[in-house]
Amino acid sequence: MIPRTLFSPDHEAFRDTVRRFIAEHVVPHHADWERAGQVPRQLWLEAGRLGLLCCNVPEAYGGMGGDFLHSTILVEEMARVGATGPTFYLHSDIIAPYLVDFGSEEQKRKWLPKMASGEVVAALGMSEPSGGSDVQAMRTQALRDGDDYVINGQKVFITNGHSADLLLLACKTDPKARAKGVSLIIVETDRPGFTRGRKLEKIGCKAQDTSELFFSDLRVPATNVLGAEGSGFAQLMTQLAQERLIQAIRGISSAEAALQWTLEYVAGRKMFGQTLGDFQNTRFKLAELHAELLAQRVFVDRCIELHLQGRFDPVDAAAAKLVATELQGRVMDQCLQFFGGWGYMWEYPIARAFADARMGRVGGGAVEVMKQIIGNSLLPKARREA
């Protein structure tokens, strides 16, 4: 294997802490959480106690003042054991950065320490029944009424939606405008007018609580707007590269784990007087997957380096998410095939990983949207060179 050079000894010590946490608090209970459709609040509190939430948040606001590599380690180690239930990455690395970068001092001090401790669980309200990728066309409205905004509308596919105490809600504050009409508003879920719908039953990632959310004349003070009114779309665009990089990290890490499970299985599976791993087809197929994963791992690690340097752009993020999640799907499909009928049984990790992987090609922007982003960046260059 090509050695990885991203992580310092301090990062690897943090990885040891994460692995112990997962082994003790996640792996033994994950199957129960899948049946319940939700992880318990106690898990968030325990993660907060160990400093595993909001790793990148400055110490002044309750975080550990770490860097994106700490977040990377959490994502990788959860993926290594197939633990899709604890959505710490969404809470810590997608929602918290909006507050850090755009929140007022009052908003930061009110919410970030509680998010870091696990007392408050956060969710991001973007997708709607009419569509998810076209953020500018959303229909949920927050209209100004004196010192308040009155919110009406509906969101769907909201991860952490059933357990969230805090929503970062994308709304139209100017229904006539597109991008410039979008604002991000902090919504406390104990306010009158907020209703949680059912927990949605998914084909994978079953331990994640994913819900419909409804807003009926819900009032929040105007001070709950994140940054300036109408700046929500621009704010969302600044964070998408990191979100898509996280999807790429999850994709490659889970695929590496699936390949390892498969290697162990075929080495011991007896068939026709030899092991399944002795067949040339098995060796060739697994060799191909290993080589592809090795190349993809080097690419993703380079993307992480660029992100740490502030040089990772949205087009590269789209490319990373596209190829990592597509490869993830191919690896899961081929690895499951080697398990035969057992691979179709939910008790086997490869079966759950196969179902969970399908979300990667949709979450954080569908692969078709990634292709559109990449294509738009290439075509102007092609015209100039023609």
Residues identified as active-site: 243
φ, ψ of residue 71 to 5 degrees: the values are -65, -40
CA angle, corner 23, sides to 362 and 277, nearest 5? 70
Pairing of strands 122-125, 166-172: parallel
d(CA 355, CA 361): 12
d(CA 386, CA 373): 21
Query: Would you tell me how many other CB atoms lie within 10 Å of the CB of residue 360?
Result: 25
Residue 99 belongs to what H/E stretch?
Answer: helix 96-102
Residue with tokens 């040089």: 311
Token pair recorded at residue 267: 């080495």
| Of residues 266, 259, 271, the one with CA closest to residue 338 | 266
d(CA 366, CA 363): 6
d(CA 211, CA 261): 32
